[in-house]
Amino acid sequence: MDTNQYLEMFLEESKEHLQACNEQLLELEKNPDDLSIVNEIFRAAHTLKGMSATMGYEDIANLTHKMENVLDAIRNSKIGVTSEILDVVFESSDALEEMVLDIEGGGTGKKDVGGLVTMLNQIEAGESPTAEIPAAEAAPARTGALVYDDFEQTVITQSIDQGFHAYELDVTLRDDCLLKAARVFMVFEILEKAGEVIKTNPNVEQLENEEFDNRFTVVLITKEDAADIKAKVEKVSELETAEIHHVQLKRAENESAAAVEAPAKEEIPNPPADSAPAEKPVKKADDKAEASSRRSGSSHSANKTIRVNIDRLDVLMNLFEELVIDRGRLQSIAAELQNAELNETTERMTRISGDLQNIILNMRMVPVETVFNRFPKMVRQLARDLDKKINLEIIGAETELDRTVIDEIGDPLVHLIRNALDHGIESPAERLAKGKPEEGTVTLRSYHSGNHVFIELEDDGAGVNRERVLRKAIERGIVSEDAADMLTDKQVAELILSSGFSTAEKLTDVSGRGVGLDVVKSTIESLGGHISIDSKEGEGSLFQVQLPLTLSIISVMLVEMQKEVFAVPLSSIIETAIIHKDDILNAHNQRVIDFRGKIVPLVDLREIFQTGLPDGEEEYKSVVIVRKGENLAALVVDSFIGQQEIVLKSLGNYLQSVFALSGATILGNGQVALIVDCNALIR
Amino acid sequence: MSAGTENKMIKTIVFQLLDKEYAIEVDVVQSIEKLLLMTITRIPGVPSYVKGVINLRGMVTPIVDLRTRFDLPVTEYDDNTRIIIVNLENFDAGLIVDDANDVIDIPADALESQPEVVGSVESDFVAGVAKIDKRLLVMLNLDHVLKPIRNGQSDDN
């Protein structure tokens, strides 16, 4: 089978399933008794196994299969959840991830999983059949174990009362069975002659569609003898085994509403572990009898979504911009012609395209969850490596950000989290000595505010040690000794973001790789964001990252210089002003103005951009006051055009970096306007 | 431009600069536009041969004037002036040429390396020359012609 066309889908879905696996494993570690979590993991692993086998990635299939066995043993309460077992499972999922990434990178997805497989086998076998806890709730969703609803239970009890037998027939088809549905049909034909089939697992529709591995269960009500039926059924060819048992009804406790059908359990307390995967997670509506038996957890299937390549969205966006440009032309034509009908149509078009623009932009929004997802596991691993106890809380993972920002923000956050774990949170002993709980808490928070998204990382660790930071900063020549005393605590804390700074007394494996937090700072600033630190010694630190909602649309002030239009990002602008030439002062060959008591240097954009100056000295000058951090500058322009939302475009790879320009945009009239990079103009 | 393969034809777009004819492979050419229909936005602080950027169907595309790039005398743009939009590996760019109107197949073995002449700015940009009938075509090395601009400088040398 040519599987190439499915490769992308396979990769996406595999990653999704692995992510689900990881999340649920972490959950399981917290609630080792919650077997419904094991089911979730099992489901993810099972699907992954199926997909990878279809795609021909045998190592992945092999490893997931073993993982499945272990999980199955767990949910059948054959083995308990211990951190050793989880470690191995985590390791397996890491290996799986590696293989998937390898495939993504064009590799074969092959990897020596022998060691892991052996370990998994050992786990599976080593602590196996204790067979003593087949309690009803202990195995809420053992595959193959049938669950009966009230109606079915009544039918069965009444039939038995009337002298019928109720049997559960487990049929296993041979692995090489070609026409599974046909065999199922043959079995049914025999059974329906003998009595009445009241229930199957998986349901009839799935059986007909061959949506099962090679094992299914049929519940039959008949007057015939069990042995007779077994013998008849076994005549069907390509059939491995047919086992027949009496249905034993066990009234389920904690039977909740229709959504979750309580686990009633009957005979065969412990089937061999490897016979388990008789069920595939089928994400479609079942017939009504079975609909109720779908367990929770398939909730994500409710999201009707479609994957779209981001490139296509870009194309859509570009096409849309052309539409906007034409709209602009249409508007000016309409204004000229003053035709009522044309005006009306143009207005309607303007409104609709405005809505359309919002929709297109929204399509590019992705929840930060996609980035946050990877952190729980990372924190778990780091906490182990560092021998610390850490509880990671994630708040606001649903906050949405533009895809381009999402792609960039991951690494800086990883850095910050490592930093918090390594330098922030103290060792358990230290914490106890300080009267803090042994377990440190790291909170990752995200929320919208105005036109920005905030991501905060808070820890209740040691905080920034003023003395130590200052000492190091002086040592490295980042601040002078005199200046050091003047700094506020916040300023001191933010020193750790300056380049060449590392607060760790000794380099550790975790964060001492020669890159400091300055990298984080510069990455965030390159995204048009801002990072600040609040810290109280002994109580913890708060890193706050402020990011623009989207990188592709920004608000700008359009200014004109000799018929050339430039855009100044509103985020840098403090205000605009018109100044008289007499207000301009000279200081050291640098012209400055007094702006609200502050001396602000004057930068003539017309000189910088060589647009040409007007003839003769103007009486009044239009200036835009911009800032970079604490520093201000007044940019002189010819005139202001107005504020506008623009779509940011890069100048491309040919013009890799141009002084004082950060990009371009296309205006309503189709012309390109350049965007001024105020950061480059100040100091 | 892999010379050597026997009798392989290279399909090229031929354009005019001053009195010479130049060729670039047709594969890299995305389109040919009339310059007079375009509004070029000047970019300050870049070499003079970068005339600016245009809005090419929603893409901001840089434009290089080949006459200036090759230190040829500059003339006014006229109705024949064309912008050849090329797609290179990492970027798109437009080349301003006097005229572009021909597509010619050049046999790979007709391509000879440029006779060594010292001092000509052009020589770096030439991948080879081919004589087809009575026409001398100069095959351009676009990677050299379009060296990315960083901090207002081309990455030459």
pLDDT: is A143 or A604 the higher one? A604
- Beta carbons of B39 and A670 less than 8 Å apart: yes
**Contact (CB<8Å) A609/B149:** no
Which two tokens mark A288? Answer: 């009504």
Residues A190, A310: Cα–Cα separation, whole Å:
54
Measured over all CA atoms, what is the biggest interatomic distance in chain A, rounded to whole angstroms? 113
Residue A474, sorted as left (phi over 0), alpha (psi -120 to 50) or beta, turns out to be: alpha
For the record, the structure tokens of A651 come out as 């100048």
Here the tokens at position A580 are 């008289």
Give the pLDDT confidence of A236-264 residue by residue, as tens digits. Answer: 777 777 888 777 665 443 444 333 343 44
Out of A29, A40, A68, A279, the active site residue is A68
CB A265 within 8 A of CB A134: yes
- Predicted pLDDT at A551: 67
A46 is catalytic: yes
**3-state SS record for A306-359:** CCCCHHHHHHHHHHHHHHHHHHHHHHHHHHHHCCHHHHHHHHHHHHHHHHHHHH
The catalytic position among A17, A39, A46, A270 is A46
Contact A622, A638 (CB under 8 A): yes
pLDDT at A31: 80
Contacts of A611 in chain B (CB under 8 A): 44
Q: Tell me, what's the pLDDT at A175?
A: 76
Give the percent of chain B with pLDDT over 90.
31
- pLDDT at residue A121 greater than cutoff 70: yes
Max mean pLDDT range (A116-125, A206-215, A496-505, A616-625): A616-625
Nearest residue of B to residue A670, measured between CA atoms: B55
Is pLDDT at A280 greater than 50 in this prediction?
no
Q: What is the mean pLDDT of residues A543-551?
A: 81
pLDDT of res. A262: 38
Query: Tokens 């990883």 identify what position?
Result: A414
pLDDT tens digits along B107-133? 888 887 766 665 555 567 888 888 888
User: What pLDDT does residue A650 have?
Assistant: 82
What is the model's pLDDT at position A406?
A: 85
> Considering only A60-64, A366-370, A615-619, which range has the smallest mean pLDDT?
A615-619
> What residues does B87 pair with on adjacent strands?
B92
Name which of A137-151, A206-220, A658-672 the model is least confident about: A137-151
Residues A651, B146: C-beta atoms closer than 8 Å: no
Determine whether the interchain pair A609/B45 forms a contact, defined as Cβ–Cβ distance below 8 Å.
Answer: yes
Specify whether A76 is catalytic: no
Q: Confidence band (pLDDT; 50, 70, 90) for A467?
A: confident
The predicted pLDDT at position B117 comes to 60
Quick check: A131 pLDDT over 90? no
